[in-house]
Structure 1
Amino acid sequence: MNEAAQQLNQRNARLLRLATYASVTVAVILITLKAVVWFMSGSVSLLASLIDSLMDGGASLINLFAVSYALTPADRGHRFGHGKAEALAGLAQSAFIAGSAVLVLLQGIDHLLHPRPVEAAWYGVAVMLLSIVATLLLLRFQRYVIQRTGSTAIRADALHYRSDLLMNASIIVALILAWYGLPGADALFGIGVALFIGFGALQIGRDAIQILMDHELPDEVRKEALELARAVPGVIDVHDLRTRQSGQQWFMQLHLELPGELPLTEAHELGEQVRHAIQRRFTQAEVLVHKDPV
């Protein structure tokens, strides 16, 4: 691995660890505040938010350990590294979120069938406003980390924190309506939030499974890699490009079509030029080049 790639990996590792610590910290603060106000109010929509924050906290803890493990260098038993721990964390998060959605849905239906008054609604509104501010700050940092690392685990974490923004806004509306004599709104909003959470869980699980199943990298990445290889003087054509992702690491393998009379030394040198051209553009990529005589 060249020096530029090592520096990139070290920077990404630092950003990923900071993102997991920030996520856990925000989750713990919000869980504490929401638990107190839910106990005071009995609001089902606030309970939905509390349960979601509990799931966020659990998922963030999973991320913290998974990201640390994923950043462990390759060893004799894991020659391609430990990067898929990130995707496993994303899959675990989807299960957490789906479970929270079912629980909130059942609570919402029960409160819709058996309406109960909502107390201390304005305390709930204050906590939701604080949650929105804290979530926006966290998402801003997570977006920065995702742009520079492409982390599946952090992207999954950010997905359900983004859903929290909509949830918190809807809960504010529900609490205000309940305060003015419409307690059924609280249950309806709780059910709506549960369905929204469930949809997010499906998205996270699908993305994680794609990586675990070695899904190809995006088409634009593959297209650019082929163009870079074909642009090297002496290369006739390129075929059989295969790509996959494992955590922060990309893996690419391709076949070069070279003149059949080319000496082995020159063929090897062309292969190295292609490898370096692709790795200069995609520093997180490990490139394997096979030479085919034409």
Structure 2
Amino acid sequence: MRDTSDQRQAAAQRISIIGAIVNALLSALKVIGGVLTGSTALIADGLHSLSDMATDMMVIFLLGISHKKPDKEHPWGHGRFETLGTVFLAVILLSVAGFMTWDSLKLLFAGEIPSPPSWPALIIAAISILANEVLFFYTLKVGKANHSNLIIANAWHHRTDSLSSIVVLIAIAGAILGVWWLDALAAVLVALLIAKIGIDLLLKSLAELVDTGLPQERVNQLRETALSVDGVIDVHNFRTRMMGGQGLLEMHLQIPAHMSASEGHFIGDIVCAKLKDRFDDIGYIIYHIDTYDDELIPDLTQPLMPSRNEVENHLNAAVSRLLGDCPAYELTIYYAPKFIELEIKFSHEIYALLENTGLAGQTLETNLQEELESLNWFRNIRIWLPVNDSQV
């Protein structure tokens, strides 16, 4: 049984809180340890952990907002807050990366050879690697379960912190062995890793803000699922976009022309249920029921198709010419590109009129066909007669 939305949100916030606590401790340990051991790379890595903590705090805040129900001011929900927050976070990461790069390059070209770091810096770097690898796997699992790009990105942020700590470990070992510039160079590499994460987050969030569609592979899967429902002939005008890690769909479902409106919408509801059951990252679905592919014939108003009132006026005049009067009837109109079809269910009074004129039901249908064939929008007519009580 699937977790509810509230349970997923709670799980996402829980892992983000754990990540924030772990990264706060690692940041303090590495910055203080870097100062005491004389390792510039370890201090830079500590700032990286600090950025991870900021990421976790922002994720916690954004999850609280983005999962709110739609309201009057935000009828489509609050998912864009997560996207905007991710953009803001990406800008912060790029700023931190720029500062770290500038500071480390100044140290490299200062012309002074700093003292090598002491061996405890190696232990601190090893602790950081282990802690961030655990955080990475746990956060990635939660992110995939929640289909949240923000949490998944945060998981990879933990992984980059782990990788940067590996670089720092090697750099510290090299600096202790006498390669003094390796420590500062490692700080630059760490800064570049942070910048890459910032750029990736920024590009993904901007793509979401401009309503970029889902990957084609996922679109194909969604279309196949919709087409697998009985009664769906085709799916067209299929549009997708992302909002807060959830997919939004718009589509036209083509059904047989003579299905009723209620059956068509029942089929549409089945399609929605099947899509949400298979893809639980689908947030909202808008569908339109068609009896033809209006994507292939976009200009259906030239010539303008007649309204129900116009059709009834033509039909009443034709029936009155044939029978001398027009009995009560139920009319169903089937609109198709460039023509319409009619289905007429007459009341019992039709028999008296047929008897007075000497017409039979089949003759009436043929004569009506001839009466209306001059109209360029008419193609076919079907007549239904009630049971004739006098003949039972």
Q: Same fold (TM over 0.5)?
A: yes
Q: Distance in 1 between matches of 2:146 and 2:113?
A: 47
Q: Distance in 2 between matches of 1:8 and 1:118?
A: 56
Q: Distance in 2 between matches of 1:270 and 1:83?
A: 29
1:268 equivalent in alignment to 2:265: yes
Aligned partner of 1:64 in structure 2 is: 60
Q: Distance in 2 between matches of 1:199 and 1:71?
A: 28
Q: Which moved more, 1:110-119 or 1:217-226?
A: 110-119
Give the secondary-structure state (helix, strand or coil) at the position aligned to 2:132: helix
Structure with greater contact order relative to length (CA < 8 Å, sep ≥ 6): 1
CA RMSD after TM alignment: 1.8
Q: Distance in 1 between matches of 2:235 and 2:74?
A: 29
Of the three residues 221, 226, 229, the one matched with 1:229 is: 226
Q: Distance in 2 between matches of 1:54 and 1:118?
A: 25
Aligned partner of 1:208 in structure 2 is: 205
Q: Which amino acid aligns with 1:25?
A: I
> What is the CA-CA distance between 1:120 and the residue it aligns to?
4.5
Q: Which amino acid aligns with 2:215?
A: P
Q: TM-score by structure 2 length? A: 0.70
Of the three residues 9, 13, 17, the one matched with 1:13 is: 9
Aligned partner of 1:74 in structure 2 is: 70
Tell me the alpha carbon deviations over residues 177-228 of structure 1, each in whole angstroms, 9 at most, x when there is no partner: 1112221111122222222221221111111112222221222221121112
Q: Distance in 2 between matches of 1:71 and 1:19?
A: 16
Q: Distance in 1 between matches of 2:232 and 2:151?
A: 39
1:40 equivalent in alignment to 2:36: yes
1:239 equivalent in alignment to 2:239: no
Q: Which amino acid aligns with 2:79?
A: G
> What is the CA-CA distance between 1:24 and the residue it aligns to?
0.7
Aligned partner of 1:289 in structure 2 is: 287
1:158 equivalent in alignment to 2:155: yes
> What is the CA-CA distance between 1:248 and the residue it aligns to?
4.7
C-alpha contact (below 8 Å) 1:59/1:96 kept by paired residues: no
Q: Which moved more, 1:118-127 or 1:96-105?
A: 118-127
Q: Distance in 1 between matches of 2:62 and 2:158?
A: 18
1:108 equivalent in alignment to 2:66: no
Give the secondary-structure state (helix, strand or coil) at the position aligned to 1:80: coil
Q: Distance in 2 between matches of 1:166 and 1:284?
A: 30
1:146 equivalent in alignment to 2:118: no
Count of matched residue pairs: 290
Larger radius of gyration: 2
Aligned partner of 1:30 in structure 2 is: 26
Tell me the alpha carbon deviations over residues 228-257 of structure 1, each in whole angstroms, 9 at most, x when there is no partner: 211222222110111222225332111011
Structure 2 gaps, min length 5: 293-392
Q: Distance in 2 between matches of 1:188 and 1:279?
A: 49
Q: Distance in 1 between matches of 2:105 and 2:216?
A: 44
C-alpha contact (below 8 Å) 2:27/2:46 kept by paired residues: yes
Of the three residues 183, 187, 194, the one matched with 1:186 is: 183
Q: Distance in 1 between matches of 2:18 and 2:76?
A: 29
Q: Distance in 1 between matches of 2:15 and 2:113?
A: 39
Structure 1 gaps, min length 5: none
Q: TM-score by structure 1 length? A: 0.92
> What is the CA-CA distance between 1:79 and the residue it aligns to?
1.4
